[in-house]
Every structure is written in C-alpha cells, then in structure tokens.
Amino acid sequence: MQTRTAGVVMLLALLAIRATPAQENSPVDMTGTWRWINHEDERDRNPGAFPGDYRGLPLNDAARMRADTYDEEVNSTSSLLQCRPRTPGYQPKGLDPMRIDKVIDPLTRQLVAYRISYEKTAGERVIWVDGRPSPSPFALHSWEGFSTGKFRGDTLEITTTHLKESYVRRNGVATSFRATVIEHLSLEEPYLEVTFTVIDPDYLTEPLVRSATYMRAPTLQLPPYPCQPEDNQLGEKYRVPHYLPGENPYLTESAFKYKTPQEGVRGGADTLYPEWRARAASLQPPAAQSTIKPAYTDASTHVAERADAERPRAPAYDKVAPLHVAGNVYLIAGAGGNIVVSAGGDGMVMVDSGAAAASDRVLDAVRQIHQSLRPPDVPDAASPFGNTWQAAHAFAEPTIRMIINTSGNPDHVGGNANIRKSPLFRLLGYRDPSLSLQVLAHAAVQARMVEAKAPELLVPTDTYLSETYTLYRFFNNQAVQLFHMPRAITDGDSVVWFRRSDVIAAGDIYDSEIYPPIDVDKGGSINGEIDALNKLIAMSVTEFMAQGGTMIVPGRGWISDAADVGNYRDMLMIIRDRVQAMVDKGMTLAQVKAAKPTMDFDPEYGREPGVTSRFVEAVYRSLKK
C-alpha cells in the first residue's frame, strides 16, 4: 500500500513538472556559477604561449607576419592593454570562472537576455535573446562585442559582432575588428560545454573552432577585480616593443623545445586535418633554436594589390543615418566623412559637413536628430544663465548654428556650401551674418583652400592660429574646444572636444578602418600623426578596463574609444619603425613599396583602392625629409 501511494505521488509530481511550461526562449537553465576546468592547453596557460607557436590555428600569412614581429612586452608597456578584457574569441581559454544570470521581462516573464560575467571582464556581457537587431556598423566596438542568442534544441547559440581588435593566442596572433564569434553552450550537468568559433575574414583562412569545459560551482563567487593600468615607461617616450620582420630570434623556440616540426608549429589550415600527420611524420624538428626569415606569400599578402585592381566605385550616400554617441552629441554617418553634431536648445553645431552630394540626406538626418530631442534640460551646473537661456532658445525647428571643419578634405568640407545655403542654417550671434561665426577651421585649412581656388562657399569663414580655440560661450550646456594637431594629416588638422558629453571629433587623424590619408605636400607627416594620436589618447579617459569613457568619432568608420585609438597608434608606430629601418638602409621608395612593410595590417586597413600605396609613400617621404 505504501509503495502504491509513493508511486502515485511520484507520478503526480512528474506530471506537475511536465505541466510547468518552460520559458519559450529558454528550454534549459544555464544560470549559476561555473568553474573553468583546465584540462586542455596547459602549456598555453603555464608558462604561456611561446613566440612563434601557431599550432592548431588556421591563420593566414598576414597573421603570421603580424605575430612573428610581435613582442609580448607590449602588454606591460601599454597602459591601454594591461587591463583589456578577453574577447569571446579567447575568453573560454582564459581560466576565468563565470557567472550566468537571466534578465527577465517583468511583465511577460520571458527571458530577455543572459548576462555572463567573468572574473576579468569590465562589466556584464549581455546575450540578447529577444530578437533585437544588430547595432549600426558605425556603433562602438567593445571587448565583449554585441551578442545575440537563440536556442537550437537545448544548445544556446551566441553570435557576437562589434568586437575590438584582439587575439586568439597570447603570442600576437591577432583577431580583427571584423571578426565574428559564434559560441555553442550545451548543458550536460554538472558540466557546461562551450564550443567557440572565430570567423575572421582578415586573419583566418577558415573558422577556428575550439572548446572549453566548465563545471558547476554553486558556492563560487567572483572576486573583485579592480584592474588599474599603469604607464610604466618612466621618463621614456611611449614605444611599442616589436621585432622588425626577420629579426625575431624566438620563432623556432617552441618547435625546438617540444621537438615538433617547425612546419607544423607555423600553423595553417592544412595542419588541422588528419592528412597532416602523414606529412608531419616525414619532417624533423629543428636541431637548434635559430632566427629564421619567413616568407609570406598567400592571398592575404596581396590585399592592397587586389584593392588597387578593383574598378573605382562611385560613392554612394544612400545609407546616411544619425546615431547617438553620448550626451547631446550625435554622429551622422555614411555621408563621406563622418559628421558630428551637438544638438539641443541652442540648435546644432556641426563638425564637418560630409560630401557635397550627400547634403540632402545629411539635412534629413539633422531633422531626424531634431525630432528625437527631448525638451531642454535644466543644466545641472551652476549657471546664472541656464534656465532663461534654455527657455529662450527652446527649439521649434531644426537649426544649424555653425560648422567646424577638422580639415580641408573634400569629404569633410564638401557639404559646407549646401548646408550654408539651407534654410536650416541660422547663425547665432550678430544680426549681420558676416560678423558671426559660420564655418570655423584652423587658418591653414582656409589658406590652402583659397590657394586651391575652392568655391567661396566651401571655404571656412573664421579661423584660429593658436594651439587651442574655445568657443566663446557654452553651446548646449557644454564647452566646445578645438585643438590644432600640427603636421599630422596636413598642417591644419583640428580635433573638436565636446567637454560635458566627453566626445571628441577626431577628423582624419583617426580613421578606424583605413590607413590615415597623410598628405606630405600639405604639411602632414607620420611622426606628427603619431604625436596627434598620442595627444588624442592623453585627452581621453576610459571608463573602466580599457573601454568606454571618452568617445572618439573618427573621420571615417565606427565610434571608438581610447583603446581603439591605442591599437591604431601602435600599428602606425610599428610601420613607421619598419620604414625608418628601410630608409636607414638607403632603400628607395620603390624598394620600400616592394618590401610591403604594411602587409600584415593591410587586411584590416588596406582594403580601399590606392590607400596602402599612398600611405607607404607618405610615411617614406616624411621620414626621408
């Protein structure tokens, strides 16, 4: 009888469990704390990846060259790298325990997102499962990226984009900011299996698939991780430790120590398949450690030539769109050069005006920004004018008060005339427009445009000659300051800092996806460009763990922070040093170009026709002077 009763109770319990509906978008519960199990890649953790060891990685020759010339000491010398969190393309190999939580919609009780925290991430990584679209291609990239998830059966598939440039192994094997990471999380209690795949069009020839295992650890707590970067190059000018191509003495160390053939240690997709074993059996490990001069020949080393061979495409401006940056500052992207707008009760100040052919769409974007504005806030700073000033200038219709030009590049000044002729352009200041600020730039920009006989309405009307220039009054509750960056792209570059929003419009001194368009004939130089980037980094503060904080809008490309600019600066310093070594050897420009000193960075920054060739020439000429 007792047995029968127990059986009935158990059956009812099972039915009750069965009758409880699972969340539609969350068939299994992965929440909890998880400990990483270090049963794979022990050598990779301790003592760490040796230089030149690319086993198991389907990398291309551009990635090899980049890693061959990499010096791990940069992680100690660069304060922007010391606290960088791992991206999902490496994190599961990074020993951190993790915690997974759910974000539940309070009304529908459905899962909106998973939050994944690792010991050494800046915040919580959010995996959206509510079907939201991907952010704009011009949105900020982060170490965690933008992740969406969906269940395939009981497996959670996570797709992550908008990543910062990072690595797949701690010896300089890079991943591009164009990489996508796809993770599959499968629950096999008490284990969580994570398979993670890196798809990188710039540095991998096929997807890199790896896995890691976590074990439930209900009592585990993530300790605080107050990562605090430090500039430890006391008294020195910032430098990037790296090896010139062919000079790294450590590239055979791993093969020699582990007695494996050097050909396999160099990695590549063909070493990942079973057929490789037969070939490897006939190869010998190196008899001694030595410096080698690898040859780089695969398709990834011809990115620039392929870009040059493409037929020039007519610029298209059909995707001009506004994007909020921070505070009251917006980006209008897709109009040639990026346009940065501060919008509020005082109207709009516009940094650069885009290409002339994009002006109609730019004005549409201005109207969109205007429609999205809220009534003016009462300023939270002590201001004797704040309330009345805001009330007096409450906006009724979109109003552009002035244009600031960061340079004379046609993609930045091309729209000046159309904007000035637009009914939206209503000046702030005197009734006589000729007395009011209209188009402001460094004096060198005006001088060069006048010299080039540019149409009058394109030419800046107001100029400054000093190192910095501050607008005579707060604009939309914040100071607006211009900083002259001498001898960078040209002799007239400015960056514009919106101080309360903490957004810097960088102009062409920083283009997140292409080499800088240094124009030596107009006073630009590679060392001036590096100085400008160092200044930009010094003006910026990251929020925590090398990301966020001051937003930097490039002349072209996506919204960035100081870590992105740091990567870009380091890339330029490495190329500068390589070209300098060639100049010191007496090589001609043709010889330098033939030696391809930018080859390992071309997949990221050399994908537009003519860009790489012009950049190498500019670096050579500015160092040859």
Partner 1 sequence: MKFSFLIIATAIMLAGVPLRAHHSFGGTYDVSRTITVKGKMVQVTLRAPHSFLYVEVADPDGTTRQWVIEGATASQFARQGIDKDAFKIGDPVEVVVNPSRSPNSTHGRLIQITRTTDGKSWGSKAGETVN
Query: Where does this chain bind partner 1 (CB under 8 A)?
Result: 38, 45-51, 71-73, 75-77, 82-84, 95, 120, 170-171, 223, 225-228, 230, 232-235, 241, 250
User: Considering beta carbons, is residue 254 or 550 the nearer one to partner 1?
Assistant: 254
SS3 of residue 145 by DSSP: coil
| Minimum CB distance to partner 1, residue 121 (Å) | 12
Distance CA 62, CA 304 (A): 12
Beta bridge partners of 324: 330
Give the nearer residue to partner 1 in terms of CB position, either 79 or 438. 79
In eight-state DSSP terms, residue 478 is B
For residue 250, what are the β-bridge partners?
none
User: Nearest 5 degrees, angle CA 101-CA 106-CA 110?
Assistant: 65
Q: Rounded to whole angstroms, what are the CA distances from 336 to 208, 297, 413, 448, 555?
A: 35, 34, 10, 21, 9
User: Which residues face 344 on adjacent strands?
Assistant: 347
At residue 600, φ and ψ (nearest 5 deg) are -75, -15
Task: Count the neighbouring beta carbons within 10 Å of the beta carbon of residue 328.
Answer: 26
Q: Are strands 155-161 and 146-152 parallel, antiparallel or unpaired?
A: antiparallel
Residue 236, Cβ density class (10 Å: 0-12 exposed, 13-18 middle, ≥19 buried): exposed
Contacts of 179 (CB under 8 A, 6+ apart): 89, 163, 198, 199, 200, 201, 202, 203
Closest distance between partner 1 and the C-beta of residue 259, in Å?
A: 16
Q: Which two tokens stand for residue 369?
A: 């920004």
Question: Which residue's CB is nearer to partner 1, number 7 or number 48?
Answer: 48
Instruction: Find the shortest distance in angstroms from Cβ 43 to partner 1.
Output: 8
Taking the complex as a whole, how short is the minimal distance between the CB of residue 84 and partner 1, in angstroms?
Answer: 8
Q: Which of residues 120 and 302 has its CB atom nearest to partner 1 in the complex?
A: 120
CB 213, min distance to partner 1, A: 16
DSSP codes of every residue in 190-212: TEEEEEEEEE-TTTBSS-EEEEE
CB 143 within 8 A of CB 84: yes
Distance, C-alpha 273 to centroid of its chain: 33
Smaller CB separation from partner 1, 76 or 110: 76
Q: Which is nearer to partner 1, 256 or 497 (CB)?
A: 256
Query: In the complex with partner 1, which residue's Cβ is closer, 89 or 492?
Result: 89
Query: For residues 50 and 138, which CB has a smaller minimum distance to partner 1 in the complex?
Result: 50
Q: 118 vs 469, which CB is nearer to partner 1?
A: 118
In whole angstroms, the minimum distance from the beta carbon of 565 to partner 1 comes to 20
**Cα(275)–Cα(278) distance, integer angstroms:** 6
* Least spacing, CB of residue 98 vs partner 1, in Å: 14
Residues facing 248 on adjacent strands:
none
Report in angstroms how near the CB of residue 71 gets to partner 1 at its nearest. 5
Q: How many CA atoms lie within 13 A of 214 on its CB side?
A: 29
Place of tokens 């885009």: 354
Structure tokens at 357: 């052919």
DSSP code, position 443: H
Closest CB 114 distance from partner 1, rounded Å: 25
Beta bridge partners of 216: 34
Please say which residue, 123 or 201, places its beta carbon nearer to partner 1: 123
Minimum Å distance from CB 51 to partner 1? Answer: 6
